[in-house]
Amino acid sequence: MVKKMKNTRYLSLFLILLLLLSLLNLPVLAAEPDTTAAPETTEPAWADDPGRYRENLLAGAEPYEAGCSTALLLELNSGIVVYAKNAESTVYPASLTKIMTCLVAIEYAGKDLDKIVTVSESALAGIAEAGGEVRLQVGERLTLRDVLYYLMVNSTNEAGNVIAEYVAGDIPSFVTLMNKTAADLGCTGTHFANTHGLHDPNHYTTARDLSVITRKALSYEVFREICGTVEYTVPATNLSEPKKITTTNYLILNDGNRYLADNGNYYTYYRSDASGVKTGYTSAAGRCVISRASDGNMDLLCVIMGAETRMMSDGSVRYDNFVEAKKLFNYGFDNFAYAKVAAAGIEPMFQVPVEYAKDKRGVVLIPSTDVSCLLPKEYEKEKVTTSFQLNDARGLTAPLEQGEKVGTLQVFYDGTVVGSADLETLTAVEEKGVDKAIADITGKDTPEEEKTLLQKLLSYWYLPVLLIAALFLILILRNAAYRRSRRKALERRRKRAMAKDSAAAGRGSGSGNGAARQSARNDSRQERGGKR
């Protein structure tokens, strides 16, 4: 009976140890989402970060070929390029250069637009010789704002130099600012050599870079106001009466001017939904225009470069930069639209493990807002897929509040990132105290390279516990083996004693029997003493 009680005690201790080990199990780490096919995407609205641009293209419902050397159609709200033709090719920007000139002026002298500037002789130098029309006079005094209207509305070349000297002290220093701004915006194929765009072989850009520059400029209200102006009256100066200047952009000039189309019909260049931005022309650059058009949902930016000047059969001149811009706008509005692909708080949902969570099921993540994405109008629903990224690559850790933003939903169409939204927790998550306490002791949340040697050793706390458990089991087994060997030895001794008793009985010796019985009693006492 005593033996059974002691075995039960050892077994109970072993079971208690196993129970403790189960309570101190390692916490389950949250699995990282599979983002191998998900390009990193954290694109904000263009007005918040207008320098960014998505390289990916969406295939339209109909094939399209722009009738110019270079073209790009960018949807501003999403930052998605829906059409591109030679968008990375090096081209001459002509007067599209003035978008950058105006941008630098606004950024470096935006609070001083009503300050008076004086036109210098150096600002006019070389303009007429390069074929430009000179509109300002040496010594003329006018506001910087009026000079910007000259620059952007009727493309006055010397206005760029007047701005440069006011902002930077001299023209070369201002051109340096232009190139620095381009580099800061991420332009990789651009180099400016002057402020106006008159031809210089060392003055070049790409349609892609011009779209980035224009997006940045459009983020300023004063730029949108100036570049969208159709007519502007420059107040009288010390050398000039008031002057009315008119835009060179026929897309926003509703004057009834028409052109002969290839189908023999006449159309107007004007678009009621267009605004800004700038025209350009040199013989090397061809006809250029950057303009913007909106239907209330889509906001398109069109870049046309290298278009032709054509003599038509009726003797009129057709400017294909405006014709191609209208066609490209039509292509965008006819073939693309915004579609709702995810609903706030409903779909899609992601089940994510949470470290130190009291509930091992983890937490459900849902989009915090509806997600509407720019897609072809006849898009294939099966090509719309979703993925997500957690804000912390190490995973989620309890406690979490309900509605806490912990990640980003990404929406793809045929592999192209077309939208995103914040992901938030559907429910709160309580922490599991034991696991959290262990993390505090071991420094689990400390980056591995910053852990001390002691922390690294403690992070493997379960190894010595398992070792102790193994040793404890070995001791139990060895003790059991030792007892089995003792029992066998005692059994042998009893058999020998009984053999002696039998021999003594045969000789009729009563004293021998007494001796044998005494020996057996002694062995029994020794056995009980061993159990104690």
pLDDT band at 506 (very low <50, low <70, confident <90, very high): low
The first and second tokens of residue 494, run together, are 């009893």
Query: What is the three-class DSSP state of 392?
Result: coil
Lowest mean pLDDT among 235-239, 430-434, 443-447: 443-447
| Region for residue 155 given its phi and psi (left: phi exceeds 0; alpha: psi -120 to 50; beta: otherwise) | left
Q: Give the largest CA-CA distance in the chain.
A: 158
Angle at 271 between CA 270 and CA 274, to 5 degrees: 120
Closest to 95 (Cα-Cα) out of 307, 322, 286, 274: 286
User: Are 312 and 260 in contact, with CB atoms under 8 Å apart?
Assistant: yes
Per-residue model confidence as pLDDT tens digits over 134-148 = 899 999 999 999 999
User: Are 76 and 48 in contact, with CB atoms under 8 Å apart?
Assistant: no
Residue 528 has pLDDT above 70, yes or no: no
Residue 436 has pLDDT above 80, yes or no: no
Residue 354's beta-bridge partner residues? 396
Supply the pLDDT for residue 452.
55
Task: Say how far apart CA 212 and CA 182 lie, in whole Å.
Answer: 9
Most trustworthy range by pLDDT among 33-37, 45-49, 201-205, 369-373: 201-205
Q: Does domain 343-431 have CATH number 2.60.410.10?
A: yes
Domain 86-336, what architecture?
A: 3-Layer(aba) Sandwich (3.40)
Supply the pLDDT for residue 497.
77
Closest to 374 (Cα-Cα) out of 85, 57, 63, 87: 57
Question: Burial level of 68, CB count in 10 A (0-12/13-18/19+)?
Answer: buried
Residue 489 has pLDDT above 50, yes or no: yes
Question: Burial level of 251, CB count in 10 A (0-12/13-18/19+)?
Answer: buried
**What is the arithmetic mean of pLDDT over 505-511?**
58
pLDDT band at 270 (very low <50, low <70, confident <90, very high): very high
Lowest mean pLDDT among 112-116, 381-385, 497-501: 497-501
Task: Say how far apart CA 187 and CA 217 lie, in whole Å.
Answer: 14
Task: Say how far apart CA 407 and CA 362 lie, in whole Å.
Answer: 15
Please list the alpha-helical segments (H only) found in 155-290. Answer: 157-168, 171-184, 207-218, 221-227
User: Are 402 and 427 in contact, with CB atoms under 8 Å apart?
Assistant: yes
Supply the pLDDT for residue 54.
63
Per-residue model confidence as pLDDT tens digits over 155-164 = 999 999 999 9
User: Are 62 and 56 in contact, with CB atoms under 8 Å apart?
Assistant: no
Supply the pLDDT for residue 130.
73
The total of other beta-carbon atoms located within 10 Å of residue 249's CB is 29
Residue 349 has pLDDT above 90, yes or no: no
Closest to 381 (Cα-Cα) out of 413, 428, 417: 413
Residue 495 has pLDDT above 70, yes or no: yes
Query: What is the three-class DSSP state of 186?
Result: coil
Residue 416's beta-bridge partner residues? 413
Lowest mean pLDDT among 372-376, 380-384, 439-443: 439-443
Query: What is the three-class DSSP state of 207?
Result: helix
Residue 61 has pLDDT above 80, yes or no: no
Lowest mean pLDDT among 48-62, 239-253, 330-344: 48-62
**What is the arithmetic mean of pLDDT over 516-526?**
56
144-153 and 157-168 helices, crossing angle to 10°? 140
pLDDT band at 244 (very low <50, low <70, confident <90, very high): very high
Per-residue model confidence as pLDDT tens digits over 30-50 = 333 333 333 333 333 455 555
Query: What is the three-class DSSP state of 111?
Result: helix
Supply the pLDDT for residue 481.
78
Task: Say how far apart CA 429 and CA 406 lie, in whole Å.
Answer: 13
Residues 6 or more apart whose CB falls under 8 angstroms from that of 48 comprise: none
For 143, phi then psi, to 5°, come to -75, 155
pLDDT band at 201 (very low <50, low <70, confident <90, very high): very high
For 250, phi then psi, to 5°, come to -70, -15
The first and second tokens of residue 381, run together, are 């629903």
**What is the arithmetic mean of pLDDT over 250-276?**
94
Residue 20 has pLDDT above 90, yes or no: no
Residue 512 has pLDDT above 60, yes or no: no
Supply the pLDDT for residue 462.
56
Most trustworthy range by pLDDT among 202-211, 425-434, 520-529: 202-211
Q: What is the 3-state secondary structure (H, E, C) of 436-496?
A: HHHHHHHCCCCCHHHCCHHHHHHCCCHHHHHHHHHHHHHHHHHHHHHHHHHHHHHHHHHHH
Per-residue model confidence as pLDDT tens digits over 184-200 = 999 999 999 999 999 99
Count of alpha carbons within 13 Å of 217, Cβ hemisphere only? Answer: 33
Query: What is the three-class DSSP state of 264?
Result: coil
Comparison of pLDDT for 81 and 21, the residue scoring more: 81
Question: Burial level of 414, CB count in 10 A (0-12/13-18/19+)?
Answer: middle
Q: Output the average pLDDT for the chain.
A: 83
DSSP 193: S
Task: Say how far apart CA 88 and CA 188 lie, in whole Å.
Answer: 9
Share of residues in the chain with pLDDT > 90 (%)? 54
